């Protein structure tokens, strides 16, 4: 029996979590897992509250991140692993002065996604558990096929610029080869991260943070820093987002499919899931696309945590679940309902904060030099990485940045960088850890 006082405390911490995360997520490049790492350390050393409160705080921070990072992803073009596809269409909107629409659509999608995630886990928990059992034995080839599909489904963008047939073929393959190069390079980085100890052992729970910042966020920050573009055009605070029923339905369907793939299959993120989802629902149109990105990110992040709360089973997906299981393992339906309630209340509360911030940025963004924001983001990320992981963290971040830079300069997909987790997990599932460790000299 969960006491009413504990429920109220969870909701209170939830509101604090969503507020803080929405604001922190405005810092370009800052991933919520980096912040949560510090929360974990603080909680371990200073706080002796019920672990359910930590879970409520964590899941609310994820909602805040889904909302707040859509502002920074659109206005500062700093995606994470789940929002890489969002940047291109939103950049177009930004150039046309419609950044607010892009932010609003993604944020709205995030709130809808949080609601769907709660409903899915509460009412379809038993089915999802069966689905996870079914999928887990096939994870190896699902992940392998997903990576192959992500690579194969990329269309060559450069051939039209070449005059000769051979030139066109070469131009097409330069881009595709670079995609493969990124997959291999990120995979090797992942092998070293997973199968050896690069960071101080006592900070292992944050071992992937530096790589993720380097692969996904840092290249954009550096690009913003050095690109000639200094000013963002004045943004229009539109009164309507013009999302019709068809686009809403298509966006929701794509988001649910993409987010669910990320939520259910280990190591696949919403970014990879979205690649499938777009094909599955034959998605077209920017508005539906941006809305679906918000939905899928919410389902991916929040749904993965809620999976942990399904009573009677232990399904651990995503970094936030890992943080929660460092404190305790949820067991009862009551805990699931408390966390789901916290999610819903936090999502509504976060929406208001998000709206205020989105309007504030829309009105002022054209006056801000994005270079200063990029510098600020770089300083914050470097400081946090050094604080958490020491010089080794900065070293990993630098290598991740070099790999993450390839997609930018060769016009290939950034989602290839996700090989940093998919490849080592596939190797581990195939029972080849020792063979690869030996090959890479770390056995």
Partner 1 sequence: MKKQAKSTSVQKKETRPGYCPKCGAYVGAFYSCSWCHSKMPHGTRLRITQFASIIAVIAGLISLSLYARIDPAPHVNIGDINQTYSNGTVTIKGEIVNIDYIVPSDESWKILIFTVEDKTGSIDVKAYTETTDELIEERNTPALGDDCTVRGSVFVRGDELYILLESTEYLTIKRPIDFTLNSTDLYALYENNTSDYIGKRVKVNGTVSWVDTDNSYFDLDNVVRIFYPEYVRKFSPNVIISVIVGDIVEVIGLIDEYYGTLEVLPGSMHDVEIISHGGVV
Which residues make up the interface to partner 1 (CB under 8 A)? 40-41, 44, 157-158, 160-161, 163, 181, 185, 188-189, 192, 194-198, 201-205, 207, 227-229, 314, 322, 325-329, 392, 395-396, 398-399, 402-403, 405-406, 408-411, 428, 431, 433-434, 437, 440-443
Q: Which is nearer to partner 1, 223 or 333 (CB)?
A: 223
Question: In angstroms, what is the minimal distance from the CB of 401 to partner 1?
Answer: 8
Q: Which is nearer to partner 1, 23 or 430 (CB)?
A: 430
The residues, any chain, with a CB within 8 Å of residue 140's CB and separated by 6 or more, are: 426, 429, 430
Question: In angstroms, what is the minimal distance from the CB of 286 to partner 1?
Answer: 16
Question: In angstroms, what is the minimal distance from the CB of 195 to partner 1?
Answer: 7
Distance in angstroms (rounded) separating the CA atoms of residues 157 and 142: 27
Question: In angstroms, what is the minimal distance from the CB of 264 to partner 1?
Answer: 20
Nearest to 407 by CA among 146, 221, 176: 176
Q: Mapping DSSP to helix (H, G, I), strand (E, B) and coil, where does residue 243 land?
A: coil
Distance in angstroms (rounded) separating the CA atoms of residues 372 and 358: 19
Inter-residue contact 56 to 342 (CB < 8 Å): yes
CA 119 to chain centre: 21
Q: Which is nearer to partner 1, 199 or 254 (CB)?
A: 199
Q: Which is nearer to partner 1, 185 or 263 (CB)?
A: 185
Question: In angstroms, what is the minimal distance from the CB of 201 to partner 1?
Answer: 5
Q: Which is nearer to partner 1, 12 or 395 (CB)?
A: 395
Nearest to 156 by CA among 413, 402, 377, 433: 413
Question: In angstroms, what is the minimal distance from the CB of 32 to partner 1?
Answer: 18
> Token pair for residue 94?
């930004």
Inter-residue contact 31 to 384 (CB < 8 Å): no
> Token pair for residue 70?
């859509």
Question: In angstroms, what is the minimal distance from the CB of 363 to partner 1?
Answer: 24
Inter-residue contact 105 to 294 (CB < 8 Å): yes
Q: Which is nearer to partner 1, 274 or 412 (CB)?
A: 412
Region of residue 369 (phi > 0: left; psi between -120 and 50: alpha; otherwise: beta): beta
Helix (H) or strand (E) holding 397: helix 370-410
Question: In angstroms, what is the minimal distance from the CB of 70 to partner 1?
Answer: 23
Distance in angstroms (rounded) separating the CA atoms of residues 21 and 27: 10
Question: In angstroms, what is the minimal distance from the CB of 203 to partner 1?
Answer: 6
Burial class (CB in 10 A: 0-12, 13-18, 19+), 365: buried
DSSP 398: H
Q: Which is nearer to partner 1, 178 or 373 (CB)?
A: 178
Where helices occur in 153-164 by DSSP H, the ranges are none
Question: In angstroms, what is the minimal distance from the CB of 282 to partner 1?
Answer: 26
Q: Which is nearer to partner 1, 173 or 327 (CB)?
A: 327
Burial class (CB in 10 A: 0-12, 13-18, 19+), 242: exposed
Contacts of 246-250 with CB under 8 Å at 24 or more apart are: 246/288, 247/285, 247/287, 247/288, 247/291, 248/288, 248/291, 250/281, 250/283, 250/285, 250/288, 250/292
Q: Which is nearer to partner 1, 131 or 398 (CB)?
A: 398
Q: Which is nearer to partner 1, 59 or 406 (CB)?
A: 406
């Amino acid at each position: 029996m969960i006491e009413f006082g504990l429920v109220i405390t969870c909701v209170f911490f939830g509101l604090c979590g969503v507020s803080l995360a929405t604001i922190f997520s405005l810092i370009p490049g800052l991933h919520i897992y980096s912040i949560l790492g510090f929360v974990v350390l603080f909680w371990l050393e200073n706080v002796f509250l019920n672990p359910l409160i930590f879970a409520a705080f964590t899941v609310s921070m994820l909602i805040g991140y889904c909302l707040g990072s859509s502002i920074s992803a659109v206005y500062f073009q700093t995606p994470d692993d789940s929002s890489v596809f969002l940047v291109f269409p939103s950049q177009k909107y930004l150039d046309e002065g419609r950044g607010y629409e892009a932010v609003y659509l993604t944020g709205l999608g995030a709130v809808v996604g949080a609601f769907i995630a709660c409903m899915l886990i509460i009412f379809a928990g038993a089915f999802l558990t069966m689905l996870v059992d079914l999928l887990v034995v096939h994870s190896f080839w699902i992940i392998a096929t997903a990576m192959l599909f992500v690579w194969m489904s990329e269309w060559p963008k450069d051939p039209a610029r070449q005059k000769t047939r051979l030139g066109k073929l070469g131009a097409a393959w330069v881009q595709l080869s670079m995609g493969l190069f990124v997959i291999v390079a990120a995979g090797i980085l992942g092998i070293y991260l997973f199968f050896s100890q690069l960071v101080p052992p006592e900070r292992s729970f944050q071992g992937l943070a530096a790589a993720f910042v380097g692969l996904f966020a840092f290249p954009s920050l550096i690009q913003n820093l050095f690109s000639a573009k200094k000013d963002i055009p004045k943004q229009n605070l539109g009164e309507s987002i013009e999302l019709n029923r068809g686009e809403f339905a298509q966006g929701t369907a794509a988001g649910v499919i993409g987010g669910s793939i990320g939520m259910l299959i280990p190591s696949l993120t919403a970014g990879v899931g979205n690649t499938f989802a777009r094909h599955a629902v034959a998605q077209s149109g920017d508005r539906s696309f941006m809305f679906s990105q918000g939905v899928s990110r919410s389902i991916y992040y929040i749904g993965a945590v809620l999976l942990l709360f399904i009573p009677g089973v232990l399904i651990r997906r995503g970094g936030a679940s890992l943080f929660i299981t460092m404190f305790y393992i949820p067991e009862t339906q009551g805990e699931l309902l408390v966390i789901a309630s916290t999610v819903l209340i936090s999502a509504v509360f976060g929406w208001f904060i998000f709206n205020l911030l989105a309007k504030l940025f829309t009105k002022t963004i054209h006056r801000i030099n994005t270079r200063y924001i990029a510098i600020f983001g770089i300083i914050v990320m470097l400081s946090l990485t050094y604080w958490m992981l020491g010089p080794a963290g900065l070293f990993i971040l630098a290598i991740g940045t070099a790999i993450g830079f390839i997609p930018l300069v060769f016009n290939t997909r950034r989602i290839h960088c996700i090989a940093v987790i998919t490849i080592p997990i596939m190797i581990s599932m195939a029972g080849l850890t020792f063979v690869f460790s030996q090959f890479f000299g770390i056995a």
